[in-house]
Amino acid sequence: MGKKVALTGNEAAAHAIRQINPDVVAAFPITPSTPIPQNVAQFIADGKMDTELVTVESEHSAMSACVGAAAAGGRVMTATSANGYALMWEILYIASGSRLPIVMAVAARALSAPLNIHGDHSDIMGGRDTGWIQLVAENSQETYDNLIQAIKIAENKDVMTPALGAFDGFNISHAIEIWELEDDNKVKEFVGEYTPLYPLLNTKEPVTHGAWAPPDWYFEHKMNQLEGLLNAKDVVVKVGKEFGSAFGREYGLYEAYKMDDAEYVIVAMGSVCGTTKDVVDSLRENGVKAGLLKVRLFRPFPYKELADALSSAKAIAVLDRVSPAGAQGGALFTEIRSALYDANNRPPVINYTYGLGGRDTQPQHINSVYDKLKTIAETGKVDKQFDCLNLRGTWG
Amino acid sequence: MALLNELAKKKEGLVNGHRLCPGCTHSVIMRQVLAAADTDKYDIVVAAATGCFEVSSGLYPYTSWNIPWIHNAFENAASTISGVEAMYRLWKKKGRTDKDVRFIALASDGGTYDIGLQALSGAIERGHRFLYICNDNNAYQNTGNQRSSATPFGASTTTSPNGTVLQGKSQPKKDIMSVLEGHHMQYLAQASPSNWRDLMNKVKKALDVNGPTYLNVIEPCTTGWGFPQHKSIEIAQLAVDTCVWPLYEIEEGRVKINYKPKNKLPVEEYLKPQKRFAHLFKKGNEHLIEEFQKQTDRHWEWLLKREESGVSY
């Protein structure tokens, strides 16, 4: 039986890794995910797991060692944040292009400069096209649950693609919440054994890993890889259901919170969804048809399903915890707006950037977004497509 | 060591059909390495850095490798092999294999002296059991002969060209052996394919060490250095006989010079046949050859003194 525990998001990730007991973990400390390798090291020191921990000298080497270990033939995990994730960037593509089902916990954090160690989505959004499956958690429970499911999703034979489970730095990584820690054996049973397809260590049948592909082959490789990534969408749903039957918490591609008849809708990812749910509740008490569409799977992006889930909306605000960096809007905004292009219902969509570098986002800020959506729905006019929440002064 | 005619019958780990330049010594060195490995006792797994050898031997849908081989990126052969070796230790621990497997990381000077130095240092410090072989061809040859920190003084490369004002690389070559020696690993050595028996002895010895080892091998590059294809081994021999490339090993800190030329040749003998040094022989550049000789002598004499001292670590 599982038990209720009061632990941080990092500890949730570390316990998931302990129970999965991967063959190799290669990791380098970086705030705010540092407690993950620390906890893993302690679990190993205390004989609670028997993973080979490779305490590399950089995140670049962390992901490089993960690639080597996964190709060698076994289950491999790591953890990182921000600049560390950015330093891995080159090898993130090699991990996915080599079809190695590595699973990584990412305590999502702002990227320098200016140096800032606090939470936002600059890292994972910067890496959204690295070919990894990206799951985003709202809280510690989901952080824990997502990492366990990520193993089964990544290792699915139709997928064979690395996956990351992201959770907001500090908001989740360092906040103590009450969550359900499942029974060790039940988690082990759920993830099962992993049988590598072409282990390098099978010296009887020598395999070449990482051959280069000239113009007459590279394209086919990349499209084959894309197929694996896209296959992850159905597998995420399947594994989410299996997880539900095993542990009582079912997961899908997204969570539709009070969305059945919702007219004013916020689309968001991560810990801000908790705050948004509270605001939705109080608005609903006052008869306002507010709703939240929480995106759980960002890559592959389930554009059709998300557009369908927005069919009752009269006005939509997409919250991005990243700078648009010169695009029309944040990464989630451009995806959602594009998804709606083919939909029957095409309500106005606005975009907010919020919470950069750990800036607080409070119920009053979320309330102001719903106020804005009401005005847009009433007037049918969008005066500002892009704006910021809780920024000094006004944007634009 | 086995007799040459026995070694010739050994199953090849690197087979023909690769796309290396004619006269390239990468394959020559690798065949010596694999011939030296005691493959009746253990199997070999290789991690290769991006470079000439990698692109020439692992081109999809072909491979020249008859042994397990992995390529990851340019700067991470050492961290890649760290991961492979960690997984092997896990397999051993859990009884998933009863095989004895030994690991070789393969890179050239770009992937070793420069961009891969951090990964190499980290992997050695962590104590993984692997032999790291650097085939030192004195520049970034895969991208067309750009200078590296292993490029010798005076050599003209595409990013340290000889011109009307500058005469090739103005800095001396990095002493990578000394850099790595500071890790106090049990065994590191320098070898040349011209002295194949010495190279093979070193490989054999290194692979038997239960920890990280390093082998620095001169890899004459017909294209980048500018000499005829049939002269590669001769050039390597000249590097050895001029003491530009001393053959030595450092075992637990103790230096042993494996070959002392009876007649130490002047560096001109090594420089002359190579186009990259042609400008040094122009009138008015005599001082550059003198400087090259000075650097070579200084290093050789320092090595002799270290050997004589018998100091170990």
Domain residue ranges of chain A, discontinuous segments joined by +: 3-247, 254-388
Proportion of chain B above pLDDT 70, given as a percent? 100
Nearest by CB to residue B122, choosing from A51, A56, A201, is A56
Buried b (16+ CB within 10 A) or exposed e, B195-231: bbebbbbbbebbbebeebbbbbbbbbbbbbbebeeeb
pLDDT number for residue A48 = 98
- CB pairs < 8 Å spanning A and B: 161
Answer for the pair A101, B119: CB distance below 8 angstroms, yes or no.
no
Contact A201 B97 (CB under 8 A): yes
Look at residue A209 and give its three-state secondary structure.
Answer: strand
Bridge partners of B131? B104, B213
Among chain A residues, the shortest Cα distance to B119 is held by A61
Q: Of A26, A337, A149, give the one whose Cα is nearest residue B123.
A: A26
Is-above-0.95 flag for pTM? yes
Does B63 reach chain A within 8 Å, measured CB to CB? yes
Angle between helices A82-97 and A59-73 (to 10 degrees): 30
How many Å separate Cα B34 from the centre of its chain?
15
Does B41 reach chain A within 8 Å, measured CB to CB? no
Q: Quote the tokens at residue A294.
A: 């929480």
Beta strand A3-8 pairing with A176-181: antiparallel
Which chain A residues have a beta carbon less than 8 Å from that of B118?
57-58, 61
Answer for the pair B70, A200: CB distance below 8 angstroms, yes or no.
yes
What's the alpha-carbon Rg for chain A, to the nearest Å?
21
Preferred mutation among A25, A57, A58, A87 to probe B, highest tally of B CBs within 10 A: A57
What digits encode the pLDDT tens for the residues B47-94? 999 999 999 999 999 999 999 999 999 999 999 999 999 999 999 999
Q: Quote the tokens at residue B259.
A: 């070959």
Can you point out the beta strands (E) in chain A?
3-8, 24-26, 52-54, 76-80, 103-108, 133-136, 163-168, 176-181, 208-209, 254-257, 264-268, 290-295, 297-299, 315-320, 349-353, 386-388
Can you point out the beta strands (E) in chain B?
43-48, 69-71, 101-108, 131-136, 139-140, 146-147, 187-191, 213-218, 248-251, 254-257
Among chain A residues, the shortest Cα distance to B58 is held by A211
How many Å separate Cα B240 from the centre of its chain?
14
Listed in sequence order, the residues at least 6 apart from A185 whose beta carbon sits closer than 8 Å to its beta carbon are none
User: Cis peptide before B61, with omega less than 30 degrees from 0?
Assistant: yes
CATH number of A254-388: 3.40.50.920
pLDDT number for residue A197 = 95
Answer for the pair B176, B240: CB distance below 8 angstroms, yes or no.
no
Amino acid identity of A166? Answer: A
Proportion of chain B above pLDDT 90, given as a percent? 97
d(CA B303, CA B255): 7
What's the fold here for domain A3-247? Answer: Rossmann fold (3.40.50)
Domains A3-247 and A254-388 share a fold: yes
Taken in order A379, A383, A384, A388, the sign of the CA dihedral is negative
Q: What's the ipTM?
A: 0.97
- Minimal CA separation from A388 to chain B, in Å: 40
Confidence of residue B1 (pLDDT cuts 50, 70, 90): low
Contact A74 B69 (CB under 8 A): no
What digits encode the pLDDT tens for the residues B122-132? 999 999 999 99
DSSP type of residue B277: G
Angle between helices A184-191 and A9-20 (to 10 degrees): 70
Amino acid identity of B6? Answer: E
Contact A68 B121 (CB under 8 A): no
Amino acid identity of B117? Answer: L
Look at residue A281 and give its three-state secondary structure.
Answer: helix
Q: What is the mean pLDDT of each run of 10 residues along chain A (396 residues)?
A: 95 98 98 98 98 98 98 98 98 98 98 98 98 98 98 98 98 98 98 97 97 97 98 98 98 98 98 98 98 98 98 98 98 98 96 98 98 96 97 94
Contact A24 B90 (CB under 8 A): yes
- Minimal CA separation from B191 to chain A, in Å: 27
